[in-house]
Amino acid sequence: MNSDPTSGMVRVRGAREHNLKNVDVDIPRDSLVVFTGVSGSGKSSLAFSTLYAEAQRRYFESVAPYARRLIDQVGVPDVDSIEGLPPAVALQQQRGTPSTRSSVGSVTTLSSLIRMLYSRAGSYPPGQPMLYAEDFSPNTPQGACPECHGLGRVYEVTEALMVPDPNLTIRQRAVASWPLAWQGQNLRDILVTLGIDVDIPWKKLPKKQRDWILFTEETPTVPVYAGLTPEETRVALKRKMEPSYQGTFTGARRYILHTFTHSQSALMKKRVAQFMLGNPCPVCDGKRLKREALSVKFAGYDIGELSQMPLLQFAEVLKPVAAQTYLDQAEEAGDVFTPSQTLEARAQRVAHGASAHANAPDVRHTPNLSVEKRLAAQRIAQDLLERVSTLTDLGLGYLALERSTPTLSSGELQRLRLATQLGSQLFGVIYVLDEPSAGLHPADGEALFDALQRLKACGNTLFVVEHDLETMRRADWLIDVGPAAGEHGGRILYSGPPAGLEQVKESQTRDYLFAEAASQARTCRKPADWLRLEGSPATTWTTSVWSFHWAVSLRLPVFRGRGNRAWSARRCWNWWARTWDARWLRVMPRNRAWRTMRPRSAAVR
């Protein structure tokens, strides 16, 4: 029996990351440990930049140097030693690179199971060869709709969108969709060389010239005489003078579509997106898949319809399949494939560049709803139900599997990752979480706490950076960092069970956790007027006319998933800007500070 009194502890010595002041602290494992303190006190520096960073560094030491270069690493923390540190997983609120192809289904890996369900146990129409899991994915060439390339939407670029004010000249940036700065000037100078008048209003240009400028797929390369007037350029061309450079023209629509498809910059994509009109794809009806994949049904739904359901409704569809009585159903009448038909279908797959899956069985050798297919469906449905129940328990039952992750809040994303970890059944791991209660209504907090307890019960340790008082009260161990922010913080004021913090008078957390801080009196401003907004910018809204008080602070204290974020999210910018003068509108997202062209610390207050 181990007589070491510090056994079962993570022992940190000499932590100096960011504002930490040579911190020494012992933290228990197999516990819910909450790091508290005012913003900027150093709690995240200890939890993430020290403990998680060191755990990640140790893990990567076992990875080949070549592979290590391909992985984004936190860095080596400034600390003397850390003993008793298990592997760690960080569940932060930060999001990765925005991608419309990333969805709730892909983040939770539920989509992979659903594709297997349709491939192995779906009801195929007569004559349809077997489809494999990749054939049901909109992110593969085998499954993506050929019209929208798996996006579910087709984009139209019109003259009215690219040229919002036809009274302007080309020199005055009539073609608003052109790139800014030098690139736009380059295109204008190329048009001068081509003999197009850039100094008359756009609407007075011949239609043939307007259509060519906007919609041509040609990319002519011509001499450019930078800084010369149109008349001087004509003279230079006539005399065959040496040009400044050779410039290549790109049509406005071609530039928009190329930038939207290939640019790695989210800002560039966002800029050109305003010149595109998106509509559901007419071929796949917005379901992102080829017609062959959508022809396969399960429980009466194609995979696109199932992916559009809220998780709560999705679970109701699966429950009869997961039940034992599902095996009692009769087979469906219909044709089956012969071995020669299977060989022919696989040869066609190879001819189209897909895998033959030569070693995989062909489910078309048995009828729809055969015993084998019902058994496969039941087992997959049971696994899906178990995973979906974790998501619904975390209050995410309103999400659909096809919901794009860029439209989710940071808190929703973190809870999706938390649910994935609950299903992984790992043990002996430290989970480091960043304010998991952020954005949750108090009524939803109980489900979150139950999820944390389930992780702990599996033999894991939870390090939670949190401001929520209820989470602090339920913690097994509190570490209060402070007493203030920046250079006035970085010290461990308390480390122990929550009740002991009451004796630490230096702690600002103590005043609120034990209800000693008096509420500050404040004077409410009187509304100056009413603001009336018409038209809904979000699909979750059922009300299209809204009235708000003007010149006051507004809050939306409603349950998650009820549209409160849609009301204030950055994606509503255009809708708000059309209603107000956009010069008086500022969007302050929670996941990052307000960014200006010249950001300064003093500007963020």
CATH topology (fold) of 104-152+284-393:
ABC transporter ATPase like fold (1.20.1580)
3-state helix, strand, coil in the chain (%, to 5): 40, 15, 45
CATH topology (fold) of 159-273:
Helicase, Ruva Protein; domain 3 (1.10.8)
Name residues whose C-beta falls within 8 Å of residue 485's C-beta, 6 or more positions apart in sequence. Answer: 38, 39, 40, 41
155-169, 490-504, 551-565: which has the minimum mean pLDDT? 551-565
**pLDDT at residue 474 tops 70:** yes
Provide the sign of the torsion angle of the four alpha carbons 93, 98, 104, 110, taken in this order: negative
Contact (Cβ atoms closer than 8 angstroms) between residue 596 and residue 603: yes
Give pLDDT, residue 281. Answer: 92
Minimal CA–CA distance to 315: which of 236, 216, 381?
A: 381
Please give the share of the chain, as a percent, with pLDDT higher than 70: 83
Secondary structure (DSSP) of 243-305: PSEEEE---HHHHHHHHHHH---HHHHHHHHTT-EEEE-TTTTTS-B-HHHHT-BBTTB-HHH
Per-residue buried b or exposed e for 227-265, using 16+ beta carbons within 10 Å of the residue's own CB:
ebebeebeebbeeeeebeeebebbbbbbbbbebbeeeee
**Average pLDDT in the 487-509 region?**
95
**pLDDT at residue 23 tops 50:** yes
Convert the pLDDT of each residue in 536-578 to its tens digit.
545 455 555 566 666 666 666 555 555 555 555 444 545 554 4
**Average pLDDT in the 24-29 region?**
96
Q: What is the torsion angle, in degrees rounded to the nearest 10, for the CA atoms of residue 31, residue 36, residue 41 and residue 43?
A: 20
**Average pLDDT in the 163-172 region?**
93
Minimal CA–CA distance to 121: which of 370, 310, 350?
A: 370
- Residue 57: phi, psi to the nearest 5? -60, -45
One-letter-per-residue 3-state SS of 458-522: CCCEEEEECCCHHHHHHCCEEEEEECCCHHHCCEEEEEECHHHHHHCCCCHHHHHHCCCCCCCCC
- Domain ranges within the chain, ordered by starting residue: 9-95+404-513, 104-152+284-393, 159-273, 530-595
Give 61's pLDDT tier (boundaries 50, 70, 90). Answer: confident
Convert the pLDDT of each residue in 271-328 to its tens digit.
898 999 888 999 999 999 999 999 999 999 999 999 999 999 999 999 999 999 998 8
pTM above 0.75, yes or no: no
Give pLDDT, residue 536. Answer: 52
**Average pLDDT in the 177-203 region?**
91
Please give the share of the chain, as a percent, with pLDDT higher than 90: 57
Give pLDDT, residue 600. Answer: 32
**pLDDT at residue 242 tops 50:** yes
Give pLDDT, residue 155. Answer: 87
**pLDDT at residue 518 tops 60:** no
Convert the pLDDT of each residue in 358-368 to its tens digit.
888 899 999 99
Give pLDDT, residue 174. Answer: 93
- The end-to-end CA distance of the chain, in Å, is 55
**Average pLDDT in the 199-213 region?**
95
**pLDDT at residue 487 tops 90:** yes
Convert the pLDDT of each residue in 457-467 to its tens digit.
999 999 999 99
The tokens describing 303, both together, are 């995979």
**Average pLDDT in the 394-410 region?**
88
**pLDDT at residue 92 tops 80:** no
Distance of CA 225 to the CA centre of its chain: 45
Give pLDDT, residue 210. Answer: 95
**Average pLDDT in the 180-195 region?**
90
406: cis peptide before it, omega within 30°?
A: no
**pLDDT at residue 96 tops 80:** no
Give pLDDT, residue 559. Answer: 52
**Average pLDDT in the 225-229 region?**
89
Q: What CATH class does 9-95+404-513 carry?
A: alpha beta
9-95+404-513 and 159-273: identical CATH topology: no
Give pLDDT, residue 447. Answer: 82
Convert the pLDDT of each residue in 588-599 to its tens digit.
555 443 333 333
**pLDDT at residue 102 tops 50:** yes
Give pLDDT, residue 1. Answer: 41
Distance CA 268, CA 50 (A): 35
**Average pLDDT in the 509-531 region?**
74
**pLDDT at residue 422 tops 80:** yes
277 C-beta neighbours (distance < 10 Å), count: 12
**Average pLDDT in the 152-170 region?**
92
**pLDDT at residue 161 tops 80:** yes
Distance CA 531, CA 452 (A): 42
Contact (Cβ atoms closer than 8 angstroms) between residue 26 and residue 81: no
Give pLDDT, residue 300. Answer: 93
Cα dist from 85 to 51, 56, 213, 251, whole Å: 8, 10, 63, 58
Q: What is the torsion angle, in degrees rounded to the nearest 10, for the CA atoms of residue 411, residue 575, residue 97 and residue 254?
A: 160
123-137, 307-321, 402-416, 510-524: which has the minimum mean pLDDT? 510-524
Give pLDDT, residue 599. Answer: 36
Give 265's pLDDT tier (boundaries 50, 70, 90). Answer: confident
Overall residue count recorded for the chain in this entry:
605
Q: What is the mean pLDDT of the chain?
A: 84
Distance CA 574, CA 580 (A): 10
The pairing of strands 529-534 and 545-550 is: antiparallel
Angle between helices 266-273 and 252-262 (to 10 degrees): 140
Helices (H) and strands (E) in the chain, counts: 22, 15
DSSP element (H, E) containing 344 = helix 339-351
